[in-house]
Structure 1
Amino acid sequence: MAHAMMAVSPGSMLVTAADLLALATCIGVLGFRIWVVRFKDEWPQPSTAAVVSLWWLVGICLAVLTLSSVGELIRRTTEMSGRPLAEVHVVLPQVLSQTHFGRVWLLRPVALLVLWSGWSTRARLGSPMITAAMLAAACMIAASRSLSGHAADWGDITLPELMDWSHLLAASLWGGSLIGLTLTGFHSLTVAADERRQFVAAMARRWSALAGVALAVVALTGIYNAWLELQHFEALWQTAYGRILLLKLSLVLIIVVLGASNRYLGIPSLQAWAGESAGSAEPSGLLATTLSLLTLEPRRAGKHGPLERFVRRAEVEGVLMIGALLCVAILLGQMPARHQSHMPPSHHTHANNLAR
């Protein structure tokens, strides 16, 4: 099925952004439920309320994913067939059965069925098996993105696709949990915190550890993916793709500084606040001093307690993470720099995100 060279419309970009944000938030919240607010823990009633809020957020994300999956199918079908929207139904069976994108897209209905089934069951708040199955299904949807995006240019089941998928999963575990907690969970998780300080401190410590592992994977896979898509360092400022990538990296760098501040300043302060011997109310060392200056910690120390400072930094991280994911959505609609260097300027507006 031939397709014309065409630019991505704002509507298409909106569908991609909604799909990506909903997917990342869904993966992040499910991962948070499994590894941070753990099933084996005896958590107090306020935390139960927080889990309920997060679960409703997952439901909203599933609704968005369902709509965006249909929107993505319609968009790609019109692009590949060159037919108007009113005639999409005529070629839709052919797209689903005879194109690479169509076969990959069929992963989504299966995964969404598992997700909706898990979300609607009454045992959802206390069943690790259901939550794990839902997380696996969300990872399948993430795979459908990697198998039909820029990484698929190298063929099926290749290292670029694996690295792209790993990057998306790690970023979603890290960023999605930040977004989810920013939107719904922080205040309900930390309400009446003075009566359960050890639980809150342990939860923050586990969340920081999860974010640290995810960040390491994001950094390694991100370097590989950037090298693959740019191929020349100059492309960072000479191409639209590179400039958007630079903006995304700038946002991520700020998030990393804030996250490191919570890890090396916030966690020790929370441990001391909780009465744990490992904590220190005034973390020391060159790294702690540098992070303290970068985040204006001395000015805030007298105004807010350790928990409030931890939450404030995490909320800023969540907002910036939304911005970083929006940059990713724009990048998905851009032609990678590796193609732009081999094409005349008149073709640089085409987004190389069509199915093969």
Structure 2
Amino acid sequence: MAFGLSWEDISLRYVEFLGYFGIYGALGFRILLSRLKATHSGAHYATEIAKITEVSERRAATIGCFGSLLLIAELVMSAGQAAAKHPSLLHAILHPGPKILTELVFGFIALFAFLGALNSIRSAWGLAAIAGVGFVFRNIASRRATAVVNPLHEAGAALWLGTLLVLVIVGLPAVMYATGEHRRRVMAELVANFSPIALSAAGLMALTGVITSWTHLKHIAALWTTAYGRTLDLKLGMVAIVAALGAWNWRRIGPALKTEDAVGVLRRTSTTELAFGAIVLLFTAVLVLLPSPK
């Protein structure tokens, strides 16, 4: 491929991003469940809420485990690639600095934390959150002012779309444990609780994305005169579609979640939003491997 890119490199970056989506998505969804429990702690249908949260937490923890394993596998494979250029695997891990080693440490912390959550250890979710924060500061040893900008960008995207992913494949099915009007009320509240997380995470992603893009582009003409800029344009186009679908769900579908038809529409539009999000990840995987414009 052009610019020395290979499908192997692109695939590794894609797997890395999927890992973060699993980790941050599980953490974000746990926040939704905590708010749901707090809201309905004294309700006459609290037993249904308890069943929903119990099932959902275990399934979300499973996704968190899977995300952690993906991230660990990607880091080990990346280190293995680098080992071909270095005397040993340990040297390959340590040679770029503590970044890979830091990610591995927090990856294993996240994995063990989610395994603990699967076994109903309440403090395990706090440990997983610590790992999530740790990933953001993986570049801090570089002492660059922008060391946390790109990790924050990734965390914002993963928290936004990762939480939506877990909501769709875990939350919506689990709500079926409730009955009648309770089911629609719980579903509406999950979606309403997701909105502040989505808006905050998307805002963080947008702000750090502007900083990262300007740092790499250096001049506006690079948007249409360089491979990096054109790839960024394609990514931004996909992000705009994802944001538009998210806004539609927030403003039009969410408030109407009182009928089964609206629930079906929400599931379909959210799935479409995630499909375009997967395309955004592909462009991002290419983008991080391209050389910055001169």
Is the contact made by 2:65 and 2:110 (CA closer than 8 Å) also made in structure 1? Answer: no
Name 2:219's counterpart in structure 1: 232
Q: What's the CA shift for 1:315?
A: 1.4
Q: How far apart, CA to CA, are the structure 1 residues paired with 2:147 and 2:33? A: 31
Look up the match of 1:69.
75
- Superposed displacement of residue 126, structure 1: 6.2
1:238-277 C-alpha deviation (Å, 9 max, x unpaired): 111111111111111111111111111122223xx29xxx
What is the deviation of 1:330?
Answer: 0.9
Alignment pair present for 1:28 and 2:25:
yes
Q: CA separation of 1:322/1:123 partners in 2, compared to 1, >3 Å: closer, same or farther?
A: closer
Q: 1:161 aligns to what SS in structure 2?
A: coil
SS across alignment from 1:333 = coil
1:245 equivalenced with 2:232 (yes/no): yes
> Residue type of the partner of 2:77?
G
2:132 corresponds to:
138
Are 2:166 and 1:180 aligned?
yes
Structure 2 residue 16 is the aligned partner of structure 1 residue 19: yes
Tell me if the contact between 1:178 and 1:317 (Cα under 8 Å) persists in the aligned partners: no
Instruction: Count how many residue pairs are aligned between Structure 1 and Structure 2.
Output: 281
CA separation of 1:95 and 1:186: change in aligned 2, threshold 3 A? same
Partner of 2:153: 167
Which SS does the other structure have where 2:290 is aligned? Answer: coil
Cα displacement (A) at 1:75: 2.1
Q: Deviations over 1:174-204 (max 9, x none)?
A: 0212233445543334565634232221111
Consecutive unaligned residues in structure 1, runs of 5 or more:
1-5, 82-87, 275-303, 342-356
Are the aligned partners of 2:161 and 2:274 in contact in 1 as well (CA < 8 Å)?
A: yes
For residues 77-129 of structure 1, give each alpha carbon's deviation from its aligned partner in whole angstroms, at most 9, with x where no partner exists: 43xx3xxxxxx5x33343444x3x242211123213322221222665462x3
Task: Work out whether 1:115 is the aligned partner of 2:110.
Answer: yes
Q: Any unmatched runs of 5+ in structure 2?
A: 42-48
Deviation at 1:217, TM superposition (A): 1.3
Report the Cα distance in structure 2 between the residues aligned to 1:142 and 1:69, rounded to whole angstroms: 16
Equivalent positions of 1:75-94 (< 5 A) are 75-78=81-84, 81=85, 90-94=87-91
Task: Output the CA distance in 2 between the equivalents of 1:219 and 1:331.
Answer: 16
Counterpart-to-counterpart distance in 1, 2:292 and 2:169: 32
Report the residue type matching 2:284 in the other structure.
V
Question: How far is 1:9 from its partner?
Answer: 2.2
The TM-score, its normalising length taken from structure 1, stands at: 0.71
Deviations 1:193-249 (A, max 9, x none): 634232221111010111011111111111111111112222112111111111111
Q: Percent identity?
A: 22
